Amino acid sequence: MSAVAILKIGSTTTALLVANELSAPLLYQQRVVNLFDSDAPKRLNDVLADFTRFADNHGCSRRLAAGGEAVRQCPPLHAVIKRWGWPHWAVDGELEGHLTWFAVKASEGLMDWVIDIGGGSTEFASADQIVSLPVGAATQQTVYDWPEGIYATAPYVVGGTAHALSILIGNRQLLQTDIGQLKEAVQANPTLLDFMDPVRRRIFPQGLQVLYDIMQYYHWPLVTYTPYGYIHGIWLACTLGRNISLRGGA
């Protein structure tokens, strides 16, 4: 069976996953591209040129592309995806949350809720409830009313902001106190983020604020970061029933 190539076109990060099994991916590449910028179509086109070549080199006859909030808001980006021959799955915010939950639950059995803080949207997802809000690290919006009825005992968090936080804090367990201290440190000394690429450095403080606000609102002392997320959910949906292999089962 040939490997499956999945293209996740997030609002700020476009990623390529090539795998026969999720536990042993053959290739994972990502590029930071802010799709809300005016030159987004050209930059995305350049990235897809490379990623299509990578998928071709791995002989991937099965491939699928799905986007995030920026793709949902900007139909001209669909033409870029079509130009490179990728089947495009038009995923809405609710389905994005479902796919993310499916992937994280398959790898993290204790998880009850997952929060995906992306560039253009934030999804809250559980086994029976999904909420998608058009606020993220690149939107520069403030949310005063978060979704009600979310009673999490083991919340997990995914996305670029959470990944960067796990590196800065040095732990998958992200304490609200540590996040608050880091938020203040970054405000006082922005050069702490100089190791990031320019786009991530610009949007990270907003993503950090979104996560901090969520944790304060729901009184969560900690959340757990996991690298599994939306792109893995797309892969599972594409290969469901075909030798799915993911730590913890599916």
37: containing domain? 4-92+230-239
CA-based nearest residue to 234, from 86, 98, 136: 98
Domain assignment present for 247: no
* pLDDT given at position 216: 95
Within-domain flag for 244: no
The CATH code of the domain that includes 151 is: 3.30.420.150
Same domain as 161, residue 80: no
Tell me whether residue 150 is in a domain: yes
Residues 40, 106 share a domain: no
Say whether both 58 and 152 belong to one domain.
no
Are both 115 and 194 inside the same structural domain?
yes
| % of the chain surpassing 90 pLDDT | 85
Q: Are residues 102 and 78 in the same domain?
A: no
> Do 35 and 144 fall within a single domain?
no
Q: Which pLDDT value is given to residue 210?
A: 95
pLDDT band at 1 (very low <50, low <70, confident <90, very high): low
pTM of the model: 0.90
Q: Does residue 199 have a pLDDT over 80?
A: yes
Same domain, 16 and 66: yes
Q: Are residues 66 and 156 in the same domain?
A: no
Mean pLDDT on 57-85 = 93
Q: What percent of the chain has pLDDT over 70?
A: 96
Please, which pLDDT band fits residue 242 given cuts at 50, 70 and 90?
A: very low
Lowest mean pLDDT among 22-36, 56-70, 87-101, 136-150: 136-150
Is residue 16 scored above 70 in pLDDT? yes
CATH number of the domain bearing residue 81: 3.30.420.40
The pLDDT, as a whole number, for residue 247 is 36
98 and 219 fall within a common domain:
yes
* Mean pLDDT score of the chain: 91
What does the pLDDT read at residue 246?
37
| 53 and 75 in a common domain | yes
